[in-house]
Structure 1
Amino acid sequence: MFEYALHSLRHDELVARAEHERLAREANRLRRAARREAAARTAEAESHSHRRRRFARAA
C-alpha cells in the first residue's frame, strides 16, 4: 500500500509539473506573438508615415 501511495504522489507531482511547463510554453508563445505583432505594427506605421506622394492626386 505504501508503494501505491508513493506512486500516486509522484504521478500527481509529474502531472502538475507537466501542466506548469505547458502553461509556461503557452505564455512564452503568446508573448513572442505579441512582440511580433507590435513590431509589425510599428514597422508598418513608420513605413507609411514618411511616405511622399510621387504624383499629385487627381481631382
Structure 2
Amino acid sequence: MFDYELHQLRSADLRRRAAHERLVRAVLRGGRAGRRPAGPETPEAESHTEHPRRHRFTRAA
C-alpha cells in the first residue's frame, strides 16, 4: 500500500509540474506576441539574411 501512495504522490507532483511549465510557456508566448507588431509585412517578420531557408533534414530518396 505504501508503494501505491508514493506512486500517487509522484504522479500528482508530475502533473503539477507539467501544468506549471505549460503556464510558463503560455505566458512567455503571450509576452512575445505582445511585443511583436501584427502582420507579416513588418520588417521583424522578414529574415535577416538573403539566403533561402535550409531544411533541417535531408530529403528521403
Fold match, TM over 0.5? yes
- Unaligned stretches of 5+ residues in structure 1: 1-15
CA deviations 1:3-58 (Å, max 9, x no partner) are xxxxxxxxxxxxx1001000000001000100000000000000001112525xxx
More relative contact order, 1 or 2 (CA 8 Å, 6+ apart): 2
Structure 2 counterpart of 1:49: 34
**Displaced runs of 4+ in structure 1, greater than 2 A?**
52-55
Question: Greater share of helix residues, 1 or 2?
Answer: 1
- What percent identity do the matched residue pairs reach? 17
- Unaligned stretches of 5+ residues in structure 2: 44-61
> Partners in 1 of 2:36 and 2:23 — Cα distance?
20
Structure 1 counterpart of 2:21: 36
Structure 2 counterpart of 1:23: 8
| RMSD between aligned residues | 1.3
Aligned length: 40
Structure index of larger Rg: 1
Q: Secondary structure at 1:31's aligned position in 2? A: helix
